[in-house]
Structures are given as C-alpha cells and as structure tokens.
Structure 1
Amino acid sequence: MFQISLRLTTLGSCSSSSSSIVFPLGKIFDRFLGKRLQSSLPASNYDYILDRSESNRLRNEIFDDEKKRQSQLIPRVEKIQVNVTNVKPYEDATLIMNKHLSTPYHCAQHFSQLITERSIIAAIDGKHLWDMHRPLTNDCNLQFRHFKDEDPTEVNRAFWRSCSFLLGMIVQRAFKSDIPVYLHSWPKPSIKSGCFIYDVQLPTLHDWKPDKEEIRSLTGMFWKLNASTKGHFERLDVKPSVAKEIFKDNKFKSQQVDDIEKEIGSEGKISLYRLSDHIDFSVGPMIPDPSHIGRVSVACVHKLDSDIENLYRFQGVATPSKLPIHFYPYRILLDRASKPRTNMIPQSRN
C-alpha cells in the first residue's frame, strides 16, 4: 500500500496481524533517540512523557466529567424521525431513532456495510454538516456525504481538517521531554494549498531545520497512529469556561478560547474533539476515524516569520483510503506539499 520504505523497529515492532503496513526503518531511530525526536507510540500502549501525560490525564478527566454531566441532563429516551434521502443505490427511508443517542453512523447501519463504510459526514436538513458519530438532536432530513459525491468539497475539507488534528497529535508526542511543545493552531482547510498544516511553537529550538530522516520519522509515527488507533472522533460542545480549564496549560489555546468567547458569549458553545486521549477544538465536522486516511506523509517543517518566538509550520499530505493512488502521482502531490506555505501566519496578540 505504502511505497516509502520506513521501518519503526525501535518504536515497538509492528506485526502483520496488527497492520498490513510494513515500515522498513531501524537504524534511523537508533540515531534519532539521541537527537530531538523520540517514539511515543509503542505497539500496545502509548508511552507518554510524564509531564505531558499528566496534562493529558487532566484534560481527559475534565472532558469525561463534562460528557457525563451532559448525558445526565437527558431525562429519558425520546424517539425522533430521520428521513434519509439520496442513499443510492437504495431507496429513501424513514427511520425512528433515539434522540441524543443515535448518530448518522447508526442510521447508515440500517442500509448496508457499503453505506456505513463510505460515509464521511452527514448533511442535516440540507444545511448543517454533521459528524457521523455525533448524536442527532431532533427530527431531521439526512443525507450521507462521501468522496465520490458530485461535489465532494465539504467532504474534502473534513478530511483535511482531520489530518491537521492528527498532525498536531503527532507533533505533541514526537519530542523528548526536555523540549517544550505548544500547539498553536491550523489554518482553515484549503484544498488548493495542496497540504494540511499545524503551526507549533518549539520555544527552545531556535533554528531547527529537520533533515530527511527526521521528516521520515514523523511520517512513520503518523502511519503507526493510523494503524493502532481503533476509536473514532468524539465531539463535545462545551461552554468557554470548560474549554479554558481544559487548555489552561497552553497560552495560545487559552487566548483563542477567550477570543471565541467574545464572539459567542459565556453561554455559547465551543466544539471539542477527542481521538484516543488527544483533545483539540475545531468547528468540525471530522472524518469518522483514521481508517479513512490512506497514504499520508509529513512533507516539510519550516520556521515562520512571526513575532511568536520559534513558531514552526508542519505540513503534510494525505489521500483517502477509499481512493487508491499510484506512487507516481502521489509523489507529485508530496513534492507540491513540500513547498513551504507562508500564508496566514499567526502573530502575537500584543
């Protein structure tokens, strides 16, 4: 499937039973462990750095507590009517589902495995885009969206957005404990840019220029994450006060929550997403889970001309698993994504 030869043997062996991907890389990581990057994705469990582990633990505790609190506000199970249309090759259907519990994914299961596996997002009442695993809240008309739609623009944006989320997840775990990592943000998905992006502050790395081996290792971690992550994206809409508590150890995220609160008010809602134990916020929607990502590469890392000290832009490229692509055209996409993008550079608020 993947033509780039890379073996993450020192990351924890990857057997054929857990993934069909073979990562031919060994000696590279023997050199890397003494440099900046380290593996945080062994074959069975994540081996987190202690301080980041504590931060993740606290974030997830808050997320779980809020999720539990919201679920307790649902007094009883109510039924809703979901009219599913344009489900080719099947006929339209009306489904009776559970309010606040049933999701578009559950609706898709009433049709076939084909519909379930190919659907990326849903459209509610022709105007609201919805995550496949996000519970439905009212009677509605529902359509499934996938990569082979006549107009897959919103599906592609969800794919690019999800890849940026995962790129931040990778970068957060890639560096050794003596190197601080502060996720900043990613620009709004732009298909024409040819790459997905995450901007990250590495305050102790003043002029880092990663070599090819370091880029390959980040790519290898991406592959490993996709192969080992079995869960789906969880969405939780919370008040700004909850988001502030979750991101209190990240000054950039905290500032962004403050900015959002000024627009929506203290009673408004901010959408959080969680995959495994990584939490970030986004308007969404996201793809259902990482299995929809096929070929993927970290293309380049470069320092941005920003008044935020040591802000680096990580760029990547990916293609959907349902749309196989030959190595040669993928190489063209990778070469294009490797060109540094210098648009929408974040600046400090001062």
Structure 2
Amino acid sequence: MMRGRMALSSLRRMPCARWYSKNTKLTNAEVSARQSHLFENEKQRQLSLVTRIEKIRVKLLDKNNSCTLIMNKGLSTPYNVAMHLNKLYRDRSALALVNGEVWDMLRPLTEDCEVELLHFKCDKPQEVNKAYWRSCSHMLGAIIASAFKDDFFVDLVRAPDVPVTAGCFCYDVDLHMDDWSPTLQELMCLSQDAFKMQEKELPFERLAVDTNLALEIFQDNRFKKKQITESGKSTTTLYRCGDFVDVSDGPMVTSTRFATNFSITAVHNIKSSHSEHGKLQRFQGVALPSDFRRIHHTVLTPIENRAKIPVYTDSDGPWIEEKEDTQLQKETSV
C-alpha cells in the first residue's frame, strides 16, 4: 500500500505544465472550496426565508410502527421522522417515499404527507439501489477532484447514468493527459480515500438553486455549464458531500456511511470531441451497501473483476465518438 501511495504522489509531482480551465487560475482544492462556500451561502439564505414555523401532519406508513407526527414545515425531514422511532430506523433508512414520490432522507418536508422509510432489505429496494449507485458516483467524483492536488487541473464532466445491472458506477473526467494508466497500487490508494469518506459519514445535502446561481457556482467548469444550460430548466438541483458539489437530479442516500467495500477498479479512455486530447477518462468502481458488508472474498472478487470491464451507455450520445467492442457492451448491460 505504501508503494501505491508513493506512485500516486510521484504523479502529483511530475514536472509538467499545469492545466487550468480558461476562466480561472484556481487549484482543484480552491475551486471545490469556492463552490462549497456558494452552496452554503445559498443554503443559509433559503433557511432564513423560513421566518414562521408552521406545523404539518406526517403519517408514517410502516407495518410495525405506523403513527402520525406533528413536524415543522420546510425544516423537518424523513430523517427526523426516523429519529422519532428508534436507532434501527435512523441507521438503516436510506431513502423515503413522500406521498409516493422518491425523496431524500435529508430533504425537508413541505406539506401534510404520508412517509414510508426505505432500506436495502425492504420489499422493493429498486429505488434505494438506484439512489445508492448514484451516491457512489458522487463519491467517486469527489475522490477524483481531490486526488491530483495542484499538479493537474481536473475537469469533471459528469456521472453517466449507468444502470445497476452494468456492474459498476462511473464518473467521466478530462485529465488533460495524453495517456495515464493507473497501477493497481494507485487504484488502491484512491479507494482508500473512499474508505475515509465512509468513516466520516458525510451527508448528501440537496439544494435546488436558480440556474443563474448554478452557472456561477460552476463558472470554472465548461462541462457543467453546458449541462446546466442545455437542461433548459429555471432551477438546478445540486448535491454536496463534504466540500464536493455536483449537478444531479438525485435522489441520493442519507450519507457516505452506507458505502462499504468501495473499490475503484479501472480507468478507461473514451473518445470525445470535447477534450483537447480527443478523449476523456471514465473512472469505474463498485461498492456494497452497509447491510451487505460481511461478504467473503470469493464472492467480492468476481464483483470487482466485472466492474473493470469498460461500460458504455445509451445516453452517451455525442460524448462518445465510437464504441470499441459491441459484444463487450452487450455483456455489461445484461
């Protein structure tokens, strides 16, 4: 493991030109800090608009603990509902249904409603699994944004919409490099950063902002600005985990605590006309929900090996100029 950390550190100290986006000379860390600062300012501004606390009736739908709670409109969340029950509900609930709509555990409730708390072993875990996959992609983006420190400016592109059946979650970036094939030790070092995030139990915070503010937050990233502009929406949904802010419709799980056995398995080049080098890098990884953390290595190893296979999606569109192996693509989508 020490050799891996040395290898990654040597990459950070390479005597090469530093790459920056056109509109900034900030480092990766400074960009993340500025984005988080703007996110926090808007979060506090929106909270300040709640000048009068109104009460709402929240009916919990649960076969063992159905009840009706009086909560605070615009402030109380499904997580607060779980806290009113017991530690088991608080710790295992990863997502909620609010009047039938999939809802973040930390998203405030806005009206009288019925709430159902979801977990990974509930009768219908499909929505929880999708939110978990999405959250792991967000964690992967956070790791990449901080991994290269100041030697390279990393342009984050997007977390592609990869189905759970693909066997891995992904994040696309532009490293501005001609070529980089990370060693196994370097991938292990990156995976260690995920372990640190999991230990910190960082919450996934949701915030809907005016699109003009979203463009200001991502003024240093041409890919995000393009994504925001092309959406055509007047508001943009952002998520923050630690200092890392990203665009996503969500929902996501409660916190990084749910992501165990997190492994960054591969980095593949994908062809793109949007990069100076004609390609982007697709980071791939896999992780298991905390409810399934105790798994034998003979089961985990095949899961990690499958997550190394290059994955392409139907929504890649202009981002991918050509797909290398049609048969491989079919295998990964089964």
Using the size of structure 2 for normalisation, the TM-score is 0.87
Partner SS, residue 341 of structure 1: coil
C-alpha distance in 2 between matches for 1:111 and 1:31: 48
- Amino-acid identity (%): 39
**Once the two structures are superposed, what CA deviation does each residue of 1:255-314 show, in whole Å capped at 9, x if it has no partner?**
111011x2x3xxx32111111111011111111111111111001001002223230100
1:142 aligns to 2:115 (yes or no) = yes
Q: Relative to 1, partners in 2 of residues 1:209 and 1:346: Cα closer, same or farther, differing over 3 Å?
A: farther
Structure 2 residue runs without a partner (length 5+): 15-24, 321-334
Contact 2:264–2:284 at 8 Å: present in 1 too?
A: yes
| Equivalent residue, structure 1, for 2:316 | 345
Match of 1:327, as an amino acid? Answer: H
| Equivalent residue, structure 2, for 1:290 | 256
Contact 2:7–2:185 at 8 Å: present in 1 too?
A: no
C-alpha distance in 2 between matches for 1:217 and 1:61: 28
1:157 aligns to 2:126 (yes or no) = no
Q: CA deviation at 1:50?
A: 6.6
Q: CA deviation at 1:234?
A: 1.1
1:183 aligns to 2:183 (yes or no) = no
C-alpha distance in 2 between matches for 1:76 and 1:293: 37
1:269-348 alignment runs, 5 A limit: 269-309=235-275, 310-323=279-292, 324-343=294-313, 344-345=315-316, 347=318
Contact 1:157–1:189 at 8 Å: present in 2 too?
A: no
Contact 1:37–1:214 at 8 Å: present in 2 too?
A: no
1:1-350 alignment runs, 5 A limit: 25-36=1-12, 51-86=27-62, 88=63, 90-126=64-100, 128-203=101-176, 205-227=177-199, 229-260=200-231, 262=232, 264=233, 268-309=234-275, 310-323=279-292, 324-343=294-313, 344-345=315-316, 347=318
C-alpha distance in 2 between matches for 1:288 and 1:108: 12
Q: CA deviation at 1:346?
A: 5.7
Pairs aligned (count): 306
Q: Which has the larger helix fraction? A: 2
C-alpha distance in 2 between matches for 1:37 and 1:318: 30
Contact 1:156–1:191 at 8 Å: present in 2 too?
A: yes
C-alpha distance in 1 between matches for 2:175 and 2:219: 18
Contact 1:235–1:272 at 8 Å: present in 2 too?
A: yes
| Equivalent residue, structure 1, for 2:20 | none
Contact 1:200–1:311 at 8 Å: present in 2 too?
A: yes
Cα RMSD, aligned residues only: 2.0
Q: Relative to 1, partners in 2 of residues 1:300 and 1:348: Cα closer, same or farther, differing over 3 Å?
A: closer
Q: CA deviation at 1:55?
A: 1.6
Match of 2:43, as an amino acid? Answer: K
Q: CA deviation at 1:27?
A: 2.8
Match of 1:272, as an amino acid? Answer: L
Q: Which of structures 1 and 2 has the larger relative contact order (alpha carbons within 8 angstroms, sep 6+)?
A: 2
Q: CA deviation at 1:57?
A: 2.6
Contact 2:56–2:111 at 8 Å: present in 1 too?
A: yes
Using the size of structure 1 for normalisation, the TM-score is 0.83
